[in-house]
Structure 1
């Protein structure tokens, strides 16, 4: 399963939800869904904008973790 560690990167960069949403060009609600790991999909355009705003790589935000429920 893919885990979105956006909250960790936002904390490292000391960027708030509203500030990042403004820089990325998405709503606070949609960014909150990503931040809370509730998203089912992420547009590459959005991921690109997040990485640009936080000056990071996609791998800093996205992580693959084995899901024990699938075994």
Structure 2
């Protein structure tokens, strides 16, 4: 898989935030990650996520990584 290859990871941050009644701004304050960086993740444009950041997001949203991220089938 080259650097330019498209990934098949889908991010479900919007859905989890809505289910928890939380905004991206609130999550940002809790997690200590900028709204801009969370927005990049939320929109599926992130190239990487630190495990420490993923852990903090999961802790704040009381969820597992599998609720935030899924892998789609190849087309």
- TM-score, scaled relative to structure 2: 0.86
RMSD, aligned α-carbons: 0.7
In the TM superposition, residue 38 of structure 1 has moved relative to its aligned partner by: 1.0
- TM-score, scaled relative to structure 1: 0.91
In the TM superposition, residue 67 of structure 1 has moved relative to its aligned partner by: 3.1
Distance across 2 between alignment mates of 1:9 and 1:67? 24
Give the match for residue 44 of structure 1.
Answer: 51
In structure 2, runs of 5+ residues without a counterpart are 1-7
Deviant stretches of 4+, over 3 Å:
none
In the TM superposition, residue 42 of structure 1 has moved relative to its aligned partner by: 0.6
Give the match for residue 62 of structure 2.
Answer: 55
Equivalent of 1:16, from 23, 32, 36? 23
Distance across 2 between alignment mates of 1:52 and 1:34? 17
Equivalent position SS for 1:63 = strand
